Structure 1
């Protein structure tokens, strides 16, 4: 019961494992996602960082995911914010920076008050170029970004807050950060897809060549062909095994991105392309490329295995045909041996009858010397009797053995 209770508590704790940072008012949100392999996971890190930023009133949150770790810092600002605030370098506070860790994405999100009537001048003031913008949260806020990397090596986003309270604002900021984080994580599969492109073309060509060769190969060359197909199948399966997890993660992260975009509840801002539409149109083709590559690998794997099965079936049929020919030859030899055996049996009847008649003749001569005269008629009658008796005896023995 105690173990079941602990399990239930752990399951319930998972619902609260990654809370948002709730805040209100103008602020600069800095979000960094790094590959977690070489990153320290001390439980005291978040406490130390919070203490370090306490004089500025900043708050820091560290989250450890399966593949990556995120650091989020919220720094309050005072109005008016006439230019983009100075960004800090979060990774320095951990004593690590590239190339010690792999940075997946950096986001600098500026939270301001209600948006102006005309967005364009303010966006130009902050150095934004061709910008995507949307009303989100049921028109309670507006989000804007040109998705370009700024001087601080961060992707810059502006969130104009009109009606969001501290809780809704924290959750909305979290969604925007997750869109960028999971989008970047899902695109880790794109280099793998590009790397496999030439290999897949080569696999297709080799498979087509071996398929034609399979149709025209003589039985003597089947062993060599079987070796080549097996090698191709091993290479395809190896490539699929190396990238299966990466492409699976790409699909999973892409699903999260789509869910987070849907949760923004976007509406159109006149004169601007929607934030989520901008992301989706440039993000989905890369995801489809990874999916298509994974599908091609799977199809190639099945095709090579199918060709391998066909060749093995063909070899097995040839072996069975050879076995059938050998069995027929053995049956023919057995039939010849049976004929020879029957001929030998015929000669054996004559030979045994001859020896028995010779013995009978000796007996008759001995009886004649002893004074018992049987005459030639007795000898004449005994010849067919002996032959018939010997023949019947041999036939009965053969019948009993059969």
Structure 2
């Protein structure tokens, strides 16, 4: 019936997302080794799958499909669960564990059954490495075997309404792995699988959240220098009087703002991912449903005391970047306004000087025009005088009188002609 309906192309993908990477039922006792490898920059998605296919061919196991994000396989001596996440590959190895009477539940780990040459060639860089031992116990609140954990750093809690007890110190052992001991007080295989998955995800997301801490510390050092530089520039601003000094300060502020924005761009993704992973740690801790054990902090209390301050440092660095960026942008706008006002005043002075020059040129032009009218009129009248003098006029009329009468006429004509010549170019 559903095939006859128009379906969204992502319907199956979205419906299956709730069932992606489900917990595996675990039969106690079992030992688990967990690796989380960050992908190398530029690595393709299929690199890890190709490496997994090599292991499958070695043991005669059907390999995963190309591009698979989740796969489970049984290799006889051990089982493997592979998960592809956004920025890391999760490799979880399972192996039947020792009995409850074993002096060291971590003496035989799951990863020891995996070929060492294949492990050495795992793609990416290993960030998380942890062992989880799930053992049966006779009674509740049984302390962990001596030597498993550092007593001063021990954390523990009853889980899932007393169905299990977890112990850990979150420290790297001699082999580079952290250790978590999960004591079974009557868990079902489904409960054991769910709690074990929650524990290794807590360890994985804890480390991924802390990846933001080195970036925050580096950014804090850079921001301290940038803040001191900004304060020094802001302190010089009231004493700046020359336009060139203000322009130099503006260039320095712009360069500082560019550096802050680069720092924000470099750390933004890592800081956001750190907050997301930190939130996932909190959700996985809720799944455990912890109950306090006498004398030791719970896993939640331990992580809140150690992890939360680190994430607070990350938040402080992110907020400081935003605050410093705002302060720098405000200083840039203020100095730009000062430079604009100074430039406007300079432009007004230039325009006033140009106006004075224009007026002087106009007065000079008027003077030249007056002299030109007199000179041209003089030459015209001189030519007329030479033309009239040879003629004899009877009576009182003489050539000098005619020239005298023509003086204002000639001057008016010359002045009119020069006036027209000056007006026409201005109209054009």
TM-score range, shorter chain: 0.7 to 0.9
Match of 1:87 in 2: 109
The CA distance in 1 between the partners of 2:115 and 2:252, in whole Å, is 53
Equivalent residue of 1:60, what SS?
A: strand
Q: Tell which deviates more after alignment, 121-130 or 323-332.
A: 121-130
Q: Tell which deviates more after alignment, 382-391 or 185-194.
A: 382-391
TM-fit CA distance, 1:190? 1.9
Match of 1:244 in 2: 268
Q: Alpha carbons of 1:251 and 1:341: their partners in 2 closer, same or farther (altered >3 Å)?
A: same
Q: Alpha carbons of 1:363 and 1:101: their partners in 2 closer, same or farther (altered >3 Å)?
A: closer
Match of 2:226 in 1: 203
TM-score, L = length of structure 1: 0.80
Match of 1:20 in 2: 23
Q: Alpha carbons of 1:233 and 1:99: their partners in 2 closer, same or farther (altered >3 Å)?
A: farther
Alignment pair present for 1:266 and 2:297: no
Q: Alpha carbons of 1:353 and 1:161: their partners in 2 closer, same or farther (altered >3 Å)?
A: same
- Give yes or no for contact 1:367–1:373 (8 Å, CA) kept in 2: no
The CA distance in 1 between the partners of 2:119 and 2:284, in whole Å, is 30
Alignment pair present for 1:41 and 2:61: no
- Give yes or no for contact 2:250–2:335 (8 Å, CA) kept in 1: yes
The CA distance in 1 between the partners of 2:148 and 2:60, in whole Å, is 31
TM-fit CA distance, 1:333? 0.7
The CA distance in 1 between the partners of 2:100 and 2:408, in whole Å, is 140
1:214-256 Cα distance to aligned partner (Å, 9 max, x none)? 4434444456545544554454444444433333322222122
TM-score, L = length of structure 2: 0.76
Match of 1:346 in 2: 370
Match of 1:70 in 2: 90
- Give yes or no for contact 1:357–1:383 (8 Å, CA) kept in 2: yes
Say which of 330, 339, 363 aligns to 2:354: 330
Q: Alpha carbons of 1:251 and 1:372: their partners in 2 closer, same or farther (altered >3 Å)?
A: farther
The CA distance in 1 between the partners of 2:117 and 2:195, in whole Å, is 27
TM-fit CA distance, 1:265? 3.4
- Give yes or no for contact 2:48–2:89 (8 Å, CA) kept in 1: no
Q: Tell which deviates more after alignment, 246-255 or 47-56.
A: 47-56
- Give yes or no for contact 1:21–1:61 (8 Å, CA) kept in 2: no
1:34-92 Cα distance to aligned partner (Å, 9 max, x none)? 33338743242564679697544x42212233332222122234644443142243564
Unmatched 5+ stretches in structure 2 = 1-6, 62-72
The CA distance in 2 between the partners of 1:137 and 1:368, in whole Å, is 144
Equivalent residue of 2:144, what SS?
A: helix
1:161-194 Cα distance to aligned partner (Å, 9 max, x none)? 4565333432222111111111012212222333
Q: Alpha carbons of 1:122 and 1:382: their partners in 2 closer, same or farther (altered >3 Å)?
A: closer
- Give yes or no for contact 1:46–1:62 (8 Å, CA) kept in 2: no
Q: Alpha carbons of 1:385 and 1:26: their partners in 2 closer, same or farther (altered >3 Å)?
A: same
Equivalent residue of 1:44, what SS?
A: helix
The CA distance in 2 between the partners of 1:205 and 1:195, in whole Å, is 16
The CA distance in 1 between the partners of 2:329 and 2:386, in whole Å, is 82
Unmatched 5+ stretches in structure 1 = none
- Give yes or no for contact 1:135–1:267 (8 Å, CA) kept in 2: yes
The CA distance in 2 between the partners of 1:362 and 1:205, in whole Å, is 91
- Give yes or no for contact 2:99–2:136 (8 Å, CA) kept in 1: no
Say which of 105, 123, 138 aligns to 2:144: 123
Q: Alpha carbons of 1:47 and 1:318: their partners in 2 closer, same or farther (altered >3 Å)?
A: same
Paired residues for 1:113-262 under 5 Å? 113=136, 116-117=139-140, 119=141, 121-124=142-145, 127-128=148-149, 129-130=151-152, 131-150=154-173, 152-162=175-185, 164-217=187-240, 218-222=242-246, 225=249, 228-262=252-286
- Give yes or no for contact 2:33–2:111 (8 Å, CA) kept in 1: no
